[in-house]
Structure 1
Amino acid sequence: MIKAIITTLILSLSAFAHGIYYDLIEGAIAVRITAPNNVPISNAKVTIYAPEASLAFVEGRSDINGNFAFLPDSRGIWKVLINADSDHGGHLKEFTINIDDKFKIKDFEKPPYERYLTIISVLGLLFGIFGIFAMVKSRKDTIK
């Protein structure tokens, strides 16, 4: 009888040892990788380095929608390396993300076109206005 009870206990304990458990954790940092025409780049190799680390914190590949996410474990400047292969060679991109004390994005290094987009827009607007004035003035000069 005691042997049957011990066997039952052992079998019931082993039933809890197998299975899959999960939990949702907030605070992941996600990177979306796209081509210039906003088409997602899947299977791009992504390597993340923690602040002041020489070994990779995490390595992986972007999903079918071009997304890659990781959970930072410390604040500071994190380095992101992206290597996206294409039919005409690899494309490398490196940038940094500044993570604050609450493991949220404080700021990040924006692509060059985003940094200068305002300046380029203002210059385009000024050239457009100048072009309209020049066109109107040239029409007035030809009418006389």
Structure 2
Amino acid sequence: MKRRIFSFGWTVLLTVLSGLSLPSTLWAHGVGYRVLESTDRAVVVECYYSDGKPMSYAETLVFGPKDSDIEYQNGRTDRHGRFAFFPDINGTWRIETGDGMGHKVEGTAEVRAAEAGKKEAVSVAKGGTAEKPPVTLGAFLGVSLIFNLCCAILLMRRKQ
């Protein structure tokens, strides 16, 4: 009788261990943002997780339209996941928010000058996005699932 190098139990154990070795950010759920309407010059951004919970007290960085690498403002969101800043020039402002546990959202707010005769209000283009897992990750997980199911079927047939 041949000695089996790997039994079904070892195969399952190796599969689980290889799955745990993936970076923790791959297991994170999605995040999103939306620019809220404002009646003054403030731009208010709300950040949230894909399940609707706010990204409370997450670190936020704001970058201006002219020097996109130079930080304009930093801070944290409030308990409702909101962050406000006062832009000093028109253009596309970039906002990055991360909770320090692998969840990060990057967004933009398009700030345009107020119409003549109106208050200091700015027009902000509404936007929002939800972070989606990369297509390559989904393909890898799908192929891995099919491969593991085929291995399990082959091992069960061998036992019979």
Which TM-score bucket, shorter chain as reference?
A: 0.5 to 0.7
Q: What stretches of structure 1 of length at least 5 have no aligned partner?
A: 1-24, 114-144
How many matched pairs? 86
1:71 and 1:104 map into 2 onto residues whose CA distance is 10
RMSD of Structure 2 on Structure 1 (CA) = 2.1
Corresponding residue of 1:90: 102
1:112 and 1:41 map into 2 onto residues whose CA distance is 13
Correspondent of 2:57 among 29, 43, 47? 43
1:65 Cα offset (Å): 1.2
Q: What stretches of structure 2 of length at least 5 have no aligned partner?
A: 1-38, 115-120, 132-160
Q: 1:105 to 1:90 in 2, by over 3 A?
A: farther
Q: Deviations over 1:112-135 (max 9, x none)?
A: 58xxxxxxxxxxxxxxxxxxxxxx
| TM-score, length basis structure 1 | 0.53
Q: 1:106 to 1:67 in 2, by over 3 A?
A: closer
Q: Which amino acid aligns with 1:36?
A: S
Q: Secondary structure at the match of 2:96?
A: strand
1:26 Cα offset (Å): 2.5
Alignment of 1:23-38 (within 5 A): 26-38=40-52
Partners of 1:96 and 1:108 within 8 A in 2: no
Compare relative contact order (CA 8 Å, sep 6+) and give the higher one, 1 or 2.
Answer: 2
Q: Deviations over 1:2-49 (max 9, x none)?
A: xxxxxxxxxxxxxxxxxxxxxxx9221111111112111211111001
2:102 and 2:71 map into 1 onto residues whose CA distance is 20
2:130 and 2:83 map into 1 onto residues whose CA distance is 21
Q: Which amino acid aligns with 1:38?
A: G
1:40 and 1:110 map into 2 onto residues whose CA distance is 14
Corresponding residue of 2:140: none
1:31 and 1:81 map into 2 onto residues whose CA distance is 10
Q: Could you say which structure has the larger radius of gyration?
A: 1
Structure with more helix by fraction? 1
1:112 and 1:69 map into 2 onto residues whose CA distance is 20
2:43 and 2:111 map into 1 onto residues whose CA distance is 9
Partners of 1:27 and 1:71 within 8 A in 2: yes
Q: Secondary structure at the match of 2:49?
A: coil
Corresponding residue of 2:122: 104
Q: Which runs of 4+ in 1 moved over 4 A?
A: none
Partners of 1:29 and 1:105 within 8 A in 2: no
Corresponding residue of 2:95: 80
Q: Which amino acid aligns with 1:93?
A: V
